[in-house]
């Protein structure tokens, strides 16, 4: 699933991206805990994907992946650099790079893994 997420970003596939989330999905991001509906996730990522071009969506370090003893839960700890380009209001191309770190918890439903929750942070840009 981790590698598929990169494909969803570069392929701008908001539906497949949303389909990897469970019905009970919880997001923890920027100090806000939310339980977005699938339709909200699709709309949010469709807007995001259509406004940027991905240049890089690369792991800084190999993700840490652990499974529960009974094989029904798993988590990943991810350290990633995301670089995008987009057009500003004047039509100039802007390049932006963000260093993210997140934890994703997965739950197995039958034979299918779904993401239950993601807690995400981003490293502040240097202000020097």
Q: Is residue 18 part of a domain?
A: yes
| 25, pLDDT greater than 80 | yes
pLDDT at 126: 66
| 31, pLDDT greater than 70 | yes
Q: Is residue 113 part of a domain?
A: yes
Q: Is residue 74 part of a domain?
A: yes
Domain containing 55 — which CATH number?
A: 3.10.450.50
Q: Is residue 54 part of a domain?
A: yes
Domain count for the chain:
1
pLDDT tens, position by position, 87-115 = 999 999 999 999 999 999 999 999 999 99
| 41, pLDDT greater than 50 | yes
Q: Is residue 34 part of a domain?
A: yes
Q: What's the average model confidence in pLDDT over 62-81?
A: 97
Q: Is residue 82 part of a domain?
A: yes
Q: Is residue 128 part of a domain?
A: no
- Residue 66 sits in which domain range? 2-122
Residue 90 in 3-state DSSP?
A: coil
């Amino acid at each position: 699933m981790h590698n598929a997420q990169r494909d969803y970003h570069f392929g701008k596939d908001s539906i497949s991206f949303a389909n990897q989330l469970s019905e009970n999905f919880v997001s923890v991001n920027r100090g806000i805990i939310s339980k977005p509906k699938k339709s909200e996730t699709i709309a949010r990522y469709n807007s995001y994907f259509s406004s940027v071009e991905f240049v890089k969506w690369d792991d800084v370090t190999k993700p840490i992946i652990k499974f529960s003893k009974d094989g029904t839960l798993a988590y990943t700890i991810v350290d990633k650099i995301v670089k995008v380009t987009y057009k500003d209001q004047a039509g100039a191309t802007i390049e932006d790079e963000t260093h993210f770190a997140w934890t994703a918890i997965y739950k197995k439903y039958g034979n299918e893994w779904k993401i239950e929750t993601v807690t995400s942070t981003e490293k502040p840009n240097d202000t020097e």
